[in-house]
Amino acid sequence: MPTIDGTWTSSSEWNNASETVQNYTDSTNLVIRAMRDADFVYVLLEMPEDFMIDGHAAICFDTLSDGGAYMNPDDICYILGETLREYHGDGRTTLMQQAPKSPNVIAERGLSGSNSPYGSTRDHVTYEFRLSADYIGSEQVSYGFYVSFDTIKEPTNFSYFYSWPDTGSPEYLRVASPRSWGILTTSESEIPEFPLPVIGALAGVIGIVAVVTRTRIFKL
Ligand SMILES: [Ca+2]
Ligand SMILES: [Ca+2]
C-alpha cells in the first residue's frame, strides 16, 4: 500500500490504483488515483504541469452519498496546504466549515520525479492522502467525490482554481453542490489466494473497467 510521503515513493507505488485524468482548457491536467485496503482509502492527486508547491488541494467525500444542493455535515473535505485541515458542511451553503481535524487522516505533498509515469521531464506537484475507511463509511462501496486545487501561475502571480468534476468556476473553500460531484467507487484491493491464471484474468477485467469508467467513475 502507498507510503504517504507526498511523492511517488517507487514507480510501482500507485500501480494498482484506479486512474482518472481531467484535462482543463488551459492545458492544466489533474490525475486522480485511488485505492483501498481493509482499513484505509488512499488518494493521489497529481498535477503534471505544476512545478511549484504554492497552493492547496482539497478532496471531499459525500459520506452518505445523498447529494443535495448544499454541503451537509456528512460531507467532509480535507485541504492540504501548508497544513492539513478538515471541513464539514453546514447544511445551508456550499462553503466548507472548518472542523477539528480527525486523527483518521494523514496527508503529505511534494514533488514527484521519474517514479511517476508523468514525471519523465520535470518534477511536479503531487498530494497523497490516507483516510480511515471507518471514518468515511466503511460499509460504502462508492461515495460522491469532489476535488479542487489551486496554484499560482507566472507571470501574474494570480492563483488559479480547478475542480473535478470540472463544474465551472471553483473557489477556495467553496464546493460545487454535492449533487454534481463525481462518483468514487471502491472495492477491496486484497486479492484472495487465487491460482495465478485467475489473477491474470482478473487483471484483464480490471483494466477494461478502468478504461470504460475513465471520465467520471473510477474503480479502486
Ligand atoms: Ca508515496
Ligand atoms: Ca451528503
The domain limits of the chain are 18-219
pLDDT of residue 178: 96
Q: Which fold has domain 18-219?
A: Immunoglobulin-like (2.60.40)
CA distance 148 to 114: 25
* End-to-end Cα distance, the chain: 12
* 68 alpha carbon, closest ligand: 2
pLDDT, residue 137, reads: 81
One pLDDT digit (tens) per residue for the chain, 220 residues: 999 999 999 999 999 898 999 999 999 999 999 998 889 999 999 999 999 999 999 999 999 989 999 999 999 999 999 999 999 999 999 999 999 999 999 999 999 999 999 976 789 999 999 999 999 887 776 789 999 999 998 888 899 999 999 988 889 999 999 999 998 865 555 444 443 444 444 444 444 343 333 334 444 4
Ligand with minimal distance to 144 CA: 2
User: Rounded to an integer, what distance in angstroms lies between the CA atom of residue 130 and that of residue 76?
Assistant: 14
CA 107–ligand 1 middle distance (angstroms) = 10
Considering the entire predicted model, what is its pTM?
A: 0.83
Distance 3 CA to ligand 1 centre (A): 4
Distance 92 CA to ligand 1 centre (A): 37
| Amino acid (1-letter code) at residue 215 | T
**DSSP letter at 177?**
P
Predicted local distance difference test score (pLDDT) of residue 197: 42
Distance 94 CA to ligand 1 centre (A): 31
**C-alpha of residue 177 to centroid of ligand 1, in Å:** 31
Question: For residue 110, how far is its CA from the centre of ligand 1 (angstroms)?
Answer: 9
Q: Is 28:124 a contact under the CB 8 Å cutoff? A: no
* Contact assessment for residue 62 and residue 182, using Cβ atoms and an 8 Å cutoff: no
Q: From the CA of 65, how far away is ligand 2's center (Å)?
A: 5
Question: What is the pLDDT at residue 119?
Answer: 75
Contacts of residue 209, defined as CB under 8 A and 6 or more positions apart, other chains included, come to 219
Residue 143: predicted pLDDT: 83
Contacts 24+ apart (CB under 8 A), 208-213: 210/18, 210/19, 213/18, 213/185
